[in-house]
Amino acid sequence: MALINMPDFAGELLADFAERKTARVDTPVIQPAEPFLDMAGEDLRRRIFLTESETGASLCLRPEFTIPVCLRHIETATGTPKRYSYLGEVFRQRREGGNEFYQAGIEDLGDRNVASADARAISDAVEILDRQLRGERFSVTLGDQAVFEAVVQALGLPGGWQKRLIHAFGNIEQLETLLEKLARPQPVAGLAPEVRALIASGDEGALIAHIDATMQATGYSSNASRSPAEIARRLKEKLALAETRLDDGAFLVLKEFLSLSVPLSEASGALAGFADAAGLKLGAALSQFDSRVAALRNAGLDIAGITYRAAFGRPLDYYTGLVFEVAVEGSSAVLAGGGRFDRLMTLLGATEHIPAVGFALWLDRIEAARADAAVRQGKSKA
């Protein structure tokens, strides 16, 4: 039984979803925890309500809908393209406004026209909010993880550092910390001189033998979760990452990129100018970005009223391209947010690549925004 009341406008949302030719899907409140722990991101992982089944399997209260909807699609072997909608409770610890709240949204699976599907997701989110909050003006913020990944790759950083930076995308404080470490690397502490010497020698066999002997001598090997070979590989990677230094020019290029914040109508030109000045080839990422801008313009959205921020991301690890959020102008409360997650379906077990994009609506925040709007309208009439 629900612990909180369904918002009064929930029926209107479901009717709106039906008009957009989506299939309503429901998923169990109790979910397998592993997909969320592996793919949802650190911010969400910290706030999941975990439990166990009678057999010891790790379970959780549903913290969001994207992963369950995708799993449901895979399990039912439904063909694509397919548009799903959902509305139900989700559960997150330490959330402002309550640990249990209603979320609704649309997941768009299998549309190969990526730019068109991206534009539809943003357009649908704005139009649905506009129906619920007549007369309000909205601010839309857009980012693109694929463009950031292209910049990082074009700079030629080691793969380990690329993964770290890409993983931190959207968390500007974490990104700044990583950039400082890259610009001013610190030596690895606590590494025994003989181990450091073996890594420097490049004799992997001797390194593995030394680690194995140490494990045997300390009794650690009997219950070790990692083999000597895996530990050796991780030590070599850790040392290589710690000794990597980002030169001043590349450091400034990344800082300049992350500082970009322009109306979307100017973003294509700003990105092309940045790439030319930095001598970076961003190729397909910029082409896809330009196609999305054109699709948004064709959908009738005011792209001059959308802000592109190069450093903007959302705290979920499965995003691969577009990310966006919508709020009432002048408010920090995010009413809708979403993005593209093209790798998620395969990671969850799909046997073929399925492009995917979607967005979620936070119903408690929409309800609060409706109440605020009603108060303002009442005062204006008085």
> Tokens standing for 116?
């068109």
**Amino acid symbol at 240:** A
Q: Is 312 known as a binding-site position?
A: no
Q: Is 107 known as a binding-site position?
A: yes
Q: Is 274 known as a binding-site position?
A: no
CA distances from 114 to 218, 356, 369 (A): 55, 8, 31
CB atoms within 10 A of CB 268: 19
Q: Is 103 known as a binding-site position?
A: yes
> Tokens standing for 5?
């009341």
Q: Is 66 known as a binding-site position?
A: yes
Sign for the CA dihedral angle at 121, 101, 174, 356 comes to negative
With both helix axes pointing from N to C terminus, report the angle between 159-168 and 145-154 in degrees, rounded to the nearest 10.
150
Sign for the CA dihedral angle at 59, 62, 65, 68 comes to positive
Q: Cα–Cα distance between 130 and 124 in angstroms, integer?
A: 10
Q: Is 84 known as a binding-site position?
A: no
Q: Is 288 known as a binding-site position?
A: no
Task: Residue count of the chain, please give it.
Answer: 382
Q: Are 36 and 44 in contact (CB under 8 A)?
A: yes
Q: Is 127 known as a binding-site position?
A: no
Q: Is 220 known as a binding-site position?
A: no
- Buried b / exposed e over 169-202, threshold 16 CB at 10 Å, is bbbeeebeebbebbbeeeeeeeeeeebeebbeee
Binding residues for L-histidine: 64-66, 92, 103, 107, 314, 318-319
Binding residues: 64-66, 92, 103, 107, 314, 318-319
